[in-house]
Amino acid sequence: MLVHARNSNAYMETAWATWMLGGVWVPTNFRLSPAEVAYLAESSAASVQIFDTAFPEHAAAAEQANPALRRRFSIGGAGAEDWEALAAHPGAIAHPADVLPDAPAWYFYTSGSTGRPKAGTLTHGQMQFVVTNHLCDLMPGTTEHDVSLAVAPLSHGAGIHALTQAARGAATVLLPGERLDCAEAWRLVEQHRVSNMFTVPTILTMLARHPDVDRVDHSSLRYVIYAGAPMYRADQVHALRKLGPVLVQYFGLGEVTGNITVLPPHLHTDAEDDPLIGSCGYPRTGMDVAILDTEGNRLKPGETGEICVRGPAVFAGYANNPAANEAAFRHGWFHTGDLGHLDARGFLFITGRASDMYISGGSNVYPREIEEALLTHPAVAEACVVGMPDGRWGESGVAVLVLEAGQSASPEALLAHLDGRIAKYKWPARFLFWDELPKSGYGKVAKRDVKLRLAERENTR
């Protein structure tokens, strides 16, 4: 069942209905283009389409790409069978379908940052473990008296988070619009006494830096969870000082449904001598995390390699993609594609994506380290460093920065700021200043798009 719609009660109803029928739920991010949704319709081989009438072009593109779509339902108006009428029909399903724990429940599409999205198969048994694990590790003590605020599309991590609320009878409050409205989000936190929310670092940073964070009462918050990408230290400290000891970080890809590591509130600190600065926490309950070399051998504490994981939260594999499965499940582990190391106590530190690393003058350079250092400059609001072809060094770093409003910074001043913070061979060869960085529909900086724009600039010179 393919679903393309904005966040709504009906959106989550489609999930319950799909699983009651024993089908596979295929939610899409409403920010995707018609062509992207058409690809998901085709690759998932969905037989039913549910669409928000705000997206007629998406619905038409999906139907054209997948002639096997037998039935179409609309949310919010005409154009097909009405979802609201169907959902209101009493006794339509007397008993849920009899499905086994290994049966597919959800095609969780990757964001496609390094290619076309792949359909990760999440099973019923896996989801049961994930919901239990989230309640155990991220939001202990959650009950029917709690209230959650959804500030991201329910098609991915926010949808998983909403399931955990439903499991405990907690309410989920939705934003009224398609885009993040920080003032409205803070108003809803105060009005509904919101106790937890799921965010990504970019959203958490926007919320924590919005003026209303100082105007509203957000003392009801117990858990502000952020995931999807590591959070820059400067932003983390700012959020911690604004919101108090409520931050919860977890590391986990869609393929592991968020269940790799957790850094709970009591391990967040703004102290500059804290040994856990930069850590995304310790392994989640029931999960095994290892750093492996290219031969599948475990590396020692402090040694950098690929972050790999195994356990009951790991997905069943990519649907209809044996080549991707072979690459992802080498040596009996799921390979995340992220690089990092464990310390002696088992805390994980992420260096960056393997695909982000570039080689300059024979040395491996990890952009995240440079971005972290640049973000400590008071004029820098956002930073993205990528490796670009260089006739002398093979590749060299290009730093694309968004500056704070009213601030300025020269390349010379930025290099002086980096002096003593990171080795000179890691310094960017060029600095560019943009009004904004391109981001994916999931709030992550789209480095592929940054590199494409930089390449276009070079070709037009």
Residue from 106, 127, 105, 107 nearest 119 by CA? 107
Distance CA 225, CA 165 (A): 13
DSSP class of residue 232 equals P
Distance CA 188, CA 149 (A): 8
Distance CA 117, CA 59 (A): 19
Helix (H, G, I), strand (E, B) or coil at 59: helix
**What does the pLDDT read at residue 228?**
73
- Homologous superfamily, domain 358-459: ANL, C-terminal domain (3.30.300.30)
**What does the pLDDT read at residue 29?**
86
Distance CA 34, CA 61 (A): 6
**R_g (Cα) of the chain, nearest Å:** 22
Whether 287 and 311 have beta carbons less than 8 Å apart is answered as yes
pLDDT per residue rounded down to tens, the chain (461 residues) = 999 999 999 999 999 999 999 999 999 988 888 888 999 999 999 999 999 998 999 999 999 999 888 888 999 876 678 888 887 776 667 788 999 999 999 999 986 544 578 999 999 999 999 999 999 999 999 999 999 999 988 988 899 999 999 999 999 999 998 888 999 999 999 999 999 999 988 889 999 999 999 999 999 999 999 987 668 788 899 999 999 999 999 999 889 999 999 999 999 999 988 999 889 999 999 999 999 999 999 999 999 999 999 999 999 999 999 999 999 999 999 999 888 999 999 999 988 776 787 878 667 787 888 998 899 899 999 999 999 988 777 789 999 999 999 999 999 999 999 988 887 888 999 999 999 999 866 567 888 889 999 988 877 65
Distance CA 90, CA 185 (A): 34
Helix (H, G, I), strand (E, B) or coil at 261: strand
CATH 3.30.300.30 location in the chain: 358-459
Buried b / exposed e along 137-161 (16+ C-beta atoms within 10 A): bbbeebeeebbbbbbbbbbbbbbbb
Q: H/E element holding 190?
A: helix 182-192
- What is the pTM assigned to this prediction? 0.80
Distance CA 62, CA 39 (A): 8
Show the tokens assigned to 181: 């409205």
Q: H/E element holding 9?
A: helix 9-20
CATH 3.40.50.980 location in the chain: 1-98
**What does the pLDDT read at residue 305?**
93
Residue type, 235: D
Whether 315 and 122 have beta carbons less than 8 Å apart is answered as yes
C-alpha angle 449/452/455, rounded to 5°? 155
Interhelix angle 9-20/157-167, nearest 10 degrees: 70
**What does the pLDDT read at residue 114?**
47
**What does the pLDDT read at residue 113?**
46
Neighbour count for residue 412 (Cβ, 10 Å): 9
What residues have CB less than 8 Å from 357, skipping those under 6 apart?
339, 364, 365, 366, 367, 387
CATH 3.40.50.12780 location in the chain: 122-354
Q: CATH classification of 1-98 is 2.40.110.20, yes or no? A: no
Residue type, 128: Q
Residue from 89, 22, 11 nearest 50 by CA? 11
Whether 250 and 138 have beta carbons less than 8 Å apart is answered as yes
- Architecture of the domain delimited by 122-354: 3-Layer(aba) Sandwich (3.40)
